[in-house]
Structure 1
Amino acid sequence: MSFIIRPVRHDDLSQLVDLAKQFNLLNLPGDKKVIGDKIDRSEHSFAGKMEKNQAEYLFVVEDMEERAVVGSSLVIAKHGSEEVPHSFFKIFKRDHFSEDLGIGFIHQVLRFQLDFDGPTEIGGLLVDKAYRRRPEKLGKQISLSRFLYMGLYPEKFESRVLCELTPPLTDEGRSEFWEALGRRFTGLPYQEADLLSQSHKEFIESLFPQNDIYLALLDAKARLVLGRVGEATKPAQHLLESIGFTYLDEVDPFDGGPHYGANTADILPIKHGRRLKVAEFKDPSYKEQGLIATTGDEFMVSLGSADIRGGEVSIAPKVRQLLGVETGDEVFISPFNYNKGI
């Protein structure tokens, strides 16, 4: 089967809504109006018509044989500004020692913080349940492909990239961390507060405690999930770690989910990406597998085999046809697999 990763288009709306309804992501809900607005924003962002702090780039993976949208991923160019700051809890350690008793404790504390000049954020990663566990690794493809776009157009993004990972939730979708902390200061149930925070941030800053919160005072269930990743999110965590993301000792103020981050230039698909000229070799040997992106007006990515020689590349015919590239065109190629220590 053949797959292409590309920017979302308006005629993807109904398929993308159906896809989003399989899941329950706050930044990509199964709501026709919300997704329609996101497609509008994405199209304007790709066209260079949005300010950085308003820009969002929505990518989809299309099954070219079925003409079906079967996955998505999102990049928010800047998460955290003077108008809408990025909020989080930073985890610090504080030492306490008693000379009288001769004993001491190292306590972890949460400190509420706001970032008015925030990083780029990635999210919105979905793959149709019918396409999970396929040999093409579509989740990995759609996740990594957005970094190729960032590598091609670094000026559109920040020097840091953030990913907020989902922690373990109860079977009812409740957050033990929110029940132990956030609900006591806002009076709101978790789902309502998290949804409200997508458009209104003032209540967080006004109602959350500004002083350090000692974790030892929280319910044991809340401490157990703090900074942890839910089972369904662990593959995404491992993929991020393999390309250079690390835990930032920061957590989401609503559910205690961990924040992972990296310097944009150090993310491996960007760091190891290369601009190459498409060429015809006499006896090509397609031994290198990578993500291959077009660099013209229409951004597209496909996973394929290539023969790289110096600054030139010969691409396997099927992928070349999928991407519509010709001899002399420039492409951006990045490895698909990363070994530790690369």
Structure 2
Amino acid sequence: MLFVRPARLSDLDAIAHMARTAQPVLHSLPHDRAALEARIALSEDSFRAEVDFPGEEFYLFVLEDSATGKLVGTSSLVAAAGYSEPFYAFRNDALIHASRELHVNRKIHALQMSHELTGKSRLAGFYIDPSLRGDAAAHLMSRARMMYVAMNRRRFTPEVFSLLLGVTDEAGASPFWEAVGRKFFGRDFKDIEMASGGRSRTFIAEVMPAYPIYVPLLPEAAQRVLGEPDPSALLAYEIHLEEGFEPDRYVDIFDAGPVLTAQVDRTASVADNESRAVREAAAAVQGTSYMVASQRAGEFRCVLANLPALREDAARARAARAPRHALLGEAPLGAAARAALGVQDGDVVRCAPLWRETSDTDNSSMGEAQ
């Protein structure tokens, strides 16, 4: 069974391998072994810390196969992006250029360097082993982070965002970088991608243009990829949309990839979150696919399991906004799921449907992933 848990220092070798081989590059995970070890240690400290408000905490998760002990995925949460240095992105503004004499009134898009995302919680570092088949494991690896947010609201801001990979070619070159970034840095995209440390380095403000970049002046190839996710990021894009993220007016400062934002209260993992009591199930359970999370003794775990639909009275209680931790039903779980979660009969777990019902979601606002 696949389950999500916090990373440990004993995972260093496996995480280092994922950091080296991941495509696209995980700039939130350094390739330098010592720096990566420090990042994992920070994550361990962050999970253990008593937190009243988001700060410099960094939370690293891994996806483990309980049958083999192999790690097959990773993702992370940044409590406050740019906590020590501003987090930079381009804000896509519309500027009006008008002349009454010439009867001209034109709306021109321009990119302005911004650090308005600084201080907001961020989803980062999503990677899933290419050998895994189907989308369920990717959904679990990505969305388990929001289950953790749902269970630890004080650790994160009311709004979260995610920065997705922009379009690159087969050689890893970015049309947007070639049109903009290279003109100022004079270096390859991959070099600066790794050096940026998550878009929070001082050199970004020192080197990147301080004045607006008028989009119509850019080459057509750069304009075409503005705010578009790379094909390799489409699954992550779709997972984010399923969660309730929406494209915002920001794009990545290096490759113009999309920035997705969401109000935490309106995300699927929070709005549809239920507390249920574990019940031992000897046979397979028929029902809906749920993310099931526990935090017994402070150790977060999350799995996928089929659960029966809520009874009508429990569903009405949820619709009436029952107290957050009110028990709304039972969670019949098999031995493998209970072992992965570290729970036993009678323990309370938090559950959220893996797929959001269309009746609960305005599809016109759905749109991307990471």
Within the candidate set 68, 80, 83, 2:82 is matched to 80
Task: Give the % identical residues.
Answer: 26
Q: For the aligned residues, what is the CA RMSD?
A: 2.4
Partner Cα distance (2:209, 2:286) in 1: 58
Partner Cα distance (2:189, 2:67) in 1: 41
Partner Cα distance (1:149, 1:36) in 2: 23
Contact 1:279-1:312 at 8 Å conserved across structures: no
After TM superposition, the structure 1 = structure 2 runs for residues 1-342 of structure 1, keeping only pairs within 5 Å, are 2-23=1-22, 24-48=25-49, 52-81=54-83, 83-115=84-116, 117-131=118-132, 133-134=133-134, 137-198=136-197, 201-279=201-279, 286-297=286-297, 298-307=299-308, 308-309=310-311, 310=314, 311-318=328-335, 319-342=337-360
Partner Cα distance (1:119, 1:89) in 2: 16
- The residue type paired with residue 290 of structure 2 is G
- The residue type paired with residue 122 of structure 1 is L
Q: Which ranges in structure 2 are unaligned for 5 or more consecutive residues?
A: 315-327, 361-370
Partner-residue secondary structure (3-state), 1:177: helix
Alpha carbons of structure 1 residues 279 and 316: separation in structure 2 relative to 1, 3 Å:
closer
Deviation at 1:324, TM superposition (A): 3.1
> Relative contact order: is structure 1 or structure 2 higher (C-alpha 8 Å, sep ≥ 6)?
2
Deviation at 1:279, TM superposition (A): 4.5
Partner-residue secondary structure (3-state), 1:146: helix
Alpha carbons of structure 1 residues 39 and 176: separation in structure 2 relative to 1, 3 Å:
same
- The residue type paired with residue 242 of structure 1 is E
Contact 2:143-2:243 at 8 Å conserved across structures: no
Contact 1:19-1:30 at 8 Å conserved across structures: no
Task: Report the more deviating stretch, 15-24 or 72-81.
Answer: 15-24
Partner Cα distance (2:245, 2:110) in 1: 23
Alpha carbons of structure 1 residues 313 and 254: separation in structure 2 relative to 1, 3 Å:
same
Deviation at 1:103, TM superposition (A): 4.2
Partner-residue secondary structure (3-state), 1:130: coil
Alpha carbons of structure 1 residues 106 and 77: separation in structure 2 relative to 1, 3 Å:
same
Contact 2:287-2:306 at 8 Å conserved across structures: yes
1:59-97 CA distances to partner (integer Å, 9 max, x unpaired)?
11111111111111111111023x301111111112233
Partner Cα distance (1:195, 1:321) in 2: 38
- The residue type paired with residue 129 of structure 2 is D
Partner Cα distance (1:335, 1:90) in 2: 34
Contact 2:128-2:138 at 8 Å conserved across structures: yes
Q: Which ranges in structure 1 are unaligned for 5 or more consecutive residues?
A: none
Deviation at 1:170, TM superposition (A): 2.4
- The residue type paired with residue 62 of structure 2 is V
Contact 1:292-1:302 at 8 Å conserved across structures: yes
Contact 1:167-1:225 at 8 Å conserved across structures: yes
Deviation at 1:313, TM superposition (A): 0.8
Partner Cα distance (1:332, 1:192) in 2: 41
Alpha carbons of structure 1 residues 77 and 285: separation in structure 2 relative to 1, 3 Å:
same
1:180-232 CA distances to partner (integer Å, 9 max, x unpaired)?
22222333432232322218622222233222221111122211111111101
- The residue type paired with residue 20 of structure 1 is A
1:266-322 CA distances to partner (integer Å, 9 max, x unpaired)?
1111111112223479x9964232011113222111111224453231323232343
Partner-residue secondary structure (3-state), 1:80: coil
Runs of 4+ residues deviating >6 angstroms: none
Contact 2:166-2:252 at 8 Å conserved across structures: no
Alpha carbons of structure 1 residues 21 and 207: separation in structure 2 relative to 1, 3 Å:
closer
Deviation at 1:121, TM superposition (A): 0.7
Partner Cα distance (1:216, 1:287) in 2: 52
Alpha carbons of structure 1 residues 65 and 30: separation in structure 2 relative to 1, 3 Å:
farther
